[in-house]
């Protein structure tokens, strides 16, 4: 009989938030300064790795890293 390894799965999600600087405009006449708040950009990137349990092919390393390369010993 053929024995197949159980699949392994690793997944995660990290919030990412960044913002841009404020913009300013001067209106004439009379002089008035208006400040527009910069936009806030956010996302939740997700990454998943799915593969066989056990060693990576041709390697003694035993699991995949974020770039898909074998890691571990």
Give me 34's structure tokens.
């208006």
Q: pLDDT tens digits for 28-62?
A: 888 888 898 888 888 777 777 776 655 555 544 44
- What is the structure's pLDDT at 27? 85
Please answer whether residues 43 and 19 qualify as being in contact, where contact means their C-beta atoms are separated by less than 8 angstroms. Answer: no
| pTM passes above 0.75 | no
DSSP conformational letter for 53: S
Q: For 60-71, write each residue's pLDDT tens digit.
A: 444 445 455 555
Give start and end residues of each alpha helix (H) in 1-73.
none
- Residue 71: per-residue pLDDT: 53
Residue recorded with tokens 């913009």: 23
Residue spans of the domains in the chain: they are 7-71
- Residue predicted with more confidence, 51 or 23: 23
């Amino acid at each position: 009989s053929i024995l197949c390894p159980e699949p392994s799965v690793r997944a995660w999600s990290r919030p990412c938030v960044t913002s841009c600087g404020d913009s300013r405009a001067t209106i004439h006449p009379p002089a008035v300064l208006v400040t527009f708040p910069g936009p806030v950009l956010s996302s939740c990137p997700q990454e998943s790795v799915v593969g066989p349990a056990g060693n990576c092919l041709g390697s003694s390393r035993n699991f995949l890293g974020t770039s898909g390369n074998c890691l571990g010993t």
